[in-house]
Amino acid sequence: MKIELYLKEKELSLYEKIIVNSIKVRVEKIEARGGVVALSGGIDSSLVAVLAHRALGDNLLCLIMPEKGVSPEEDTEHALKIVNKFNIKYKIIPINKAVEWFSKNFPEGEFKEQARRMAIANTKPRIRMILNYLYANAMGGIVIGTSNKTELLLGYGTKFGDMAADIYPIGDLYKTQVWQLAEHVGIPTEIIRKKPSAGLWKGQTDEEELGHTYYEIDRVLYALVELELSVRETSEFLGIDEEAVLDIYKRVISSEHKRKPPTITRLSKMCLDKDWRYPVERY
């Protein structure tokens, strides 16, 4: 039993093919005309954009949606670097006015300032989600999500925001594997090396907010999920403080609702989220 996060060269090529094919097949199956990826300039969306472009070519549209003054300018530069390097169609749509509208119409004083700030911060990826679907609908395409397995397990994403998508092509890859695959497909080094950030407020970094490094988180998640160890076993196996493992474990169990469609109250013998089992790609 060991932590096997590291992917071999042969596996990276295989993963690339599998992911590209899965995007292509979904688009073909539903007779969509393409797909939309929200490209922040971070590692996850850069990787998805490149893979989706391999699947869809000119039928992929990347939306670069900075909140000017909050999103680091460097991110937009990186997003542009990706679309230019790989020759991907794109649009830049700043979201400041929409954020301002929600902020202005959501009165201060009614809620605790911290909660209010967080609610508004979460509105930003939801604004981007609306734009994703606006374009996807108009072009007859799908929204291609950029969540990875680490984020999905931790629930580190905004429900109906950045998590809103039709498919998650990299949803079975841990963050450390995303870095590897990104390198494999030729994402520029400065994008791979920069500190990951959800970009919800100025100076935010994922690792600071989560309280652990991705290296540590991925090892813990791998032990808990892939090796199916308990919190105590994980702590002993990795030589990591049990409190730290417990903190990560609690995030996993409390975020299950983010990984599932809304729970339906069962009244019939054919409750649609419990008894009815049909594939999406159904003929």
Find the shortest distance in angstroms from Cβ 179 to other proteins: 17
148, 170 contact by CB (below 8 A): yes
Q: Are 74 and 194 in contact (CB under 8 A)?
A: yes
Q: What kind and span of H or E run contains 90?
A: strand 89-92
Candidates 19-27, 39-47, 86-94, 133-141: pick the segment binding other proteins (CB under 8 A): 19-27
Instruction: Name which position in 22, 59, 96, 204 contacts other proteins (CB under 8 A).
Output: 22
Pick the piece of the chain touching other proteins (CB under 8 A) from 20-28, 51-59, 190-198, 206-214: 20-28
User: Distance (Å, rounded) from C-alpha 21 to C-alpha 5?
Assistant: 23
| Number of Cα atoms under 13 Å in the Cβ half of residue 77 | 7
Paired strand residues for 251: none
Q: Is 120 exposed, middle or buried (0-12, 13-18, 19+ CB in 10 A)?
A: middle
Minimum CB separation of residue 6 from other proteins in Å reads 11
| Contact map string, positions 110 to 149, toward other proteins, x by CB under 8 A | ----------------------------------------
Give the number of residues in contact with other proteins, rule: CB under 8 A. Answer: 17
Between 4 and 77, CB nearer to other proteins: 4
The smaller minimum CB distance to other proteins, of residues 24 and 116, is found at 24
Judged by beta carbon, residue 135 or residue 179, the one nearer other proteins is 179
Binding mask 152-181 for other proteins (x = CB under 8 A): ---------------x--------------
Complex with other proteins: residue 11 or 247, whichever CB lies closer: 11
CA distance 251 to 259: 12
Q: Is 107 in the site for other proteins (CB under 8 A)?
A: no
Query: In this chain, which of 3, 11, 12, 81 binds other proteins, going by CB under 8 A?
Result: 11
Regarding 261 and contact with other proteins (CB under 8 A), the answer is no
What is the distance between the alpha carbons of residues 263 and 50, in angstroms, rounded to a whole number? 34
Q: Which two tokens stand for residue 193?
A: 């090396």
CB of 5 to other proteins, least distance (A): 11
Structure-token match 């290296």, residue found = 215
Closest separation in Å from C-beta 42 to other proteins: 23
Round to whole Å and give the CA distance between 124 and 245.
30
Pairwise CA distance, residues 246 & 167, whole Å = 30
Closest distance of CB 224 from other proteins, Å: 16
Using DSSP's 3-state secondary structure scheme, residue 71 falls into: coil
Stretch that binds other proteins, among 56-64, 89-97, 141-149, 274-282 (CB under 8 A): 274-282
276 interacts with other proteins by CB under 8 A: yes
Q: Choose the binding region for other proteins from 74-82, 158-166, 261-269, 275-283 (rule: CB under 8 A).
A: 275-283
Paired tokens of 250: 């609690």
Q: Starting at the edge strand that comes first in sequence, how are the strands of the sheet with 34-38 ordered?
A: 89-92, 60-64, 34-38, 141-143
Q: Are 244 and 219 in contact (CB under 8 A)?
A: no
